[in-house]
Structure 1
Amino acid sequence: MNSKLETVNWGIIGCGDVTEVKSGPAFQKTEHSKLVAVMRRNKEKAADYARRHGVPKWYHSADDLINDPEVNAIYIATPPDTHASYAIQAMRAGKPVYVEKPMAMNYSECRKMIHVSKETGMPLFVAYYRRTLPAFLKVKELVESGAIGIPLSVSVTLIKSAAEKGKDPEEHNWRVNPEVAGGGHFFDLASHQLDFLDFVFGPVNEVHGIAYNQAGYYEAEDTVTGTFAFENGVAGTGLWCFVADESAEKDDIEIIGTQGKINLPCFIHGDLRLTTAKGAINFSFQNPENISHNLVKNVVSSLRGEEECVSTAETAARTNAVLDEMVKEYYKNKDFLQKSTNHKGSCRLD
């Protein structure tokens, strides 16, 4: 980006549920940041959002919002199937982009987005806001300070019951439609966990996964197991299941070191627990009212040239690569999901 922005005038493409509390208000609460326009294909819903949130302009065409001269940065909060196309269009129009996670449908699309970002000089950020939340920052601090000695392994467990059980497929959320989401709930939720581990340990250099559909409620994978290793030598395992009984639900990230361990839920707002030979200590944290507020502030500061952003296209693409690798065998011969041959490919950036 050749020049820094003094005030970031945001336009939102896709002002749906995720923007109501999680993200939308953060653009208005952040210093040197304004939300000046929103877009949704449904005119009535776009106008209603603008009215309720005090946004001066609304559109039902992404083209119109992107080409609004007052808008100088774009937040894309649509489902993943349009992330790449909207981001590329916005960057080619000279607008920096902040896009929801996962970054795109697949790693191949991520690489195209990164190429256009470099070609145009437009910054590209991704909404992995856990990189800025206090509990997750504390985990990184504990690991880096040697609180658990040398980190050896990490295990991720996410077991949830199925909201889709007993429902007609037409009632299902887009998050279990691979043609829209890139995969199932695994892509939507595991992406947060894997991105956080990238934040703590750096890139993954080896990954293997097995994906299944055990309940048959939808066509996407509903259970995934995986093993992965980071470049720094930390070994990882993961279990994700989205069709279990409520009694089996579990949300835990466990990091084991030579002198202790750390446990933290990723989605349930619970305590961080540090266990060493001296005993166990619980840490409690308060998240911002709008959960992505800290990251929005970081993005705005980056666009103003004040600091580097912690969630970039390069880091987010690595997460997409890992997701792809874990489910590639499941999607290899799926007729309902027409993918290019390099959709589910290498987990390494090159």
Structure 2
Amino acid sequence: MKKIKEEEVRWGIIGVGNVCEVKSAPAMNLIQNSCLVAVMRRNEEKVKDYANRHQVPKWYTQAEELINDPEVNAIYIATPPNMHLTYTELAAKAGKPVYVEKPMARTYAECLSMIQACEKAQVPLYVAYYRRALPHFVKIKELLEQGEIGAVRTVHIQMRQEPEPEIIAQLENNWRVDPEIAGGGYFYDLASHQMDLLQFFFGKIIQASGFQSNQAGLYEAEDTVVGSFAFENGTMGTGNWSFASAKENQIDQIIIDGSLGQIRFETFGKGEFYLKKDGDTEKHFQFDLPKHIQQPLIQLIVDDLLGKNQGPSTGYTAASTNWVLEKLTGGKGK
């Protein structure tokens, strides 16, 4: 597998939207042996504005021009999921490593095509499931591996959100609830983080089934999903997600039950979690989160590209998450 020959990762970004303002792109200039050299967006006014505000030397309105820029040796695809396969194939053909936003693609089949393109070109493929590198989740994984709560028995996900009025009022611009663009709705956008994180903790999910429904009828995509799943290590889990709930019913909670105790945390909250062992007082763990939330993962990817370690979120791990999402929504997208 070819990484990069140079001693510096020189990033080019396709699709500099909101995720590139704080979460990801600025970190590329803060990491040693990494820099952002070019950005692309189809809207010329917006891409010029982004480049000027973030001091990026080059900007393009055509993805192919950025991909073929000889100064760019790694591609970050930060577009909605419907373009991930197309741009991954172009980047791979150009022989350049790919870092793609989550979810990896609209369907599991598209994920496999992305993997195939990168394998054929012998270039690495990474996916932005950055929770695998955040300090509180790394600590949870460490405690689980140390047997802090004994043998893990089950894991339970509860996620309920109210429909946000300002989002509903602008549905024509909300690609996250357009299945043709996103693959699904908010379940694909948010639960993908949860299912990937749990596979980081426990290994691959090998069985999953569920049901999906559009209960509120506010948009085309599903707004409610329930399901169950089993990991290769024997842990079993359940989940229920509603994006049409009442405000007072909102919750973001994952509970991991073991033979000696329990860990609970929010996926999208602060950098904290709670540990309770039989007979002990519940312990609270708090970690500072980075300003640029993807920086720890991008650091690991840069190190990987320079031959220093192995990145934790690859096309292989992320494709498994897409497979789970399809199973939990009743097998759609097969």
Q: Within the alignment, does 1:99 sit opposite 2:68 as a pair?
A: no
Distance, in Å, in 2 between the alignment partners of 1:154 and 1:170 is 34
Distance, in Å, in 1 between the alignment partners of 2:104 and 2:71 is 25
- Code of the residue aligned with 2:303 in structure 1: it is S
For the 8 Å contact 1:169–1:218, the answer to whether it is kept is no
Identity of aligned residues (%): 51
Distance apart, 1:279 and its partner CA: 1.8
SS in structure 2 at match of 1:216: coil
What is the match of residue 287 of structure 2?
285
What is the match of residue 15 of structure 1?
16
- Code of the residue aligned with 1:2 in structure 2: it is K
What is the match of residue 227 of structure 2?
226
What is the match of residue 51 of structure 1?
52
- Code of the residue aligned with 2:177 in structure 1: it is V
What is the RMSD of the two structures over their aligned residues, measured on CA atoms?
A: 1.3
SS in structure 2 at match of 1:279: coil
- Code of the residue aligned with 2:285 in structure 1: it is F
Q: Within the alignment, does 1:248 sit opposite 2:249 as a pair?
A: yes
What is the match of residue 338 of structure 1?
none
What is the match of residue 348 of structure 1?
none
Question: Could you report, residue by residue, the CA deviation over 1:152-211 in whole angstroms, capped at 9, with x for unpaired residues?
Answer: 000011111102589456445110000000000000000000000000000011101100
Higher deviation after alignment, 27-36 or 162-171: 162-171
Distance, in Å, in 1 between the alignment partners of 2:315 and 2:240 is 26
What is the match of residue 131 of structure 1?
132
Q: Within the alignment, does 1:260 sit opposite 2:261 as a pair?
A: yes
Distance apart, 1:328 and its partner CA: 3.5
- Code of the residue aligned with 1:26 in structure 2: it is A
SS in structure 2 at match of 1:180: helix
SS in structure 1 at match of 2:113: helix
Question: Could you report, residue by residue, the CA deviation over 1:188-240 in whole angstroms, capped at 9, with x for unpaired residues?
Answer: 00000000000000001110110010000001000000100001110000011
Higher deviation after alignment, 228-237 or 271-280: 271-280
What is the match of residue 306 of structure 2?
304
- Code of the residue aligned with 1:110 in structure 2: it is C
Give the count of matched residue pairs: 332
Cα distance 1:270–1:35, how it changes in 2: closer, same or farther (>3 A)? closer
Higher deviation after alignment, 305-314 or 161-170: 161-170
What is the match of residue 182 of structure 2?
181
What is the match of residue 337 of structure 1?
none
Q: Within the alignment, does 1:2 sit opposite 2:2 as a pair?
A: yes
- Code of the residue aligned with 2:317 in structure 1: it is T
Cα distance 1:213–1:298, how it changes in 2: closer, same or farther (>3 A)? same
For the 8 Å contact 1:169–1:217, the answer to whether it is kept is no
Distance, in Å, in 2 between the alignment partners of 1:77 and 1:286 is 25
Question: Could you report, residue by residue, the CA deviation over 1:230-267 in whole angstroms, capped at 9, with x for unpaired residues?
Answer: 01110000011111111100001100000000001000
**Runs (4+) off by over 3 Å:** 1-5, 164-172
Distance apart, 1:2 and its partner CA: 3.4
Distance, in Å, in 2 between the alignment partners of 1:127 and 1:118 is 19
Distance, in Å, in 1 between the alignment partners of 2:115 and 2:88 is 10
Distance apart, 1:116 and its partner CA: 1.2
Q: Within the alignment, does 1:85 sit opposite 2:105 as a pair?
A: no
For the 8 Å contact 2:2–2:124, the answer to whether it is kept is no
Distance apart, 1:269 and its partner CA: 1.3
For the 8 Å contact 2:209–2:330, the answer to whether it is kept is no
Question: Could you report, residue by residue, the CA deviation over 1:47-73 in whole angstroms, capped at 9, with x for unpaired residues?
Answer: 000000010000111011011111000
SS in structure 2 at match of 1:109: helix
- Segments of structure 1 that go 5 or more residues without pairing to the other structure are 332-342, 345-350
Distance, in Å, in 2 between the alignment partners of 1:69 and 1:61 is 15
Distance, in Å, in 2 between the alignment partners of 1:167 and 1:192 is 23
Distance, in Å, in 1 between the alignment partners of 2:165 and 2:180 is 17
- Segments of structure 2 that go 5 or more residues without pairing to the other structure are none
What is the match of residue 192 of structure 1?
193
Cα distance 1:191–1:170, how it changes in 2: closer, same or farther (>3 A)? closer
Distance, in Å, in 1 between the alignment partners of 2:130 and 2:292 is 11
Distance, in Å, in 2 between the alignment partners of 1:223 and 1:269 is 25
- Code of the residue aligned with 1:211 in structure 2: it is Q
SS in structure 1 at match of 2:243: strand
TM-score (norm 2): 0.97
- Code of the residue aligned with 2:122 in structure 1: it is G
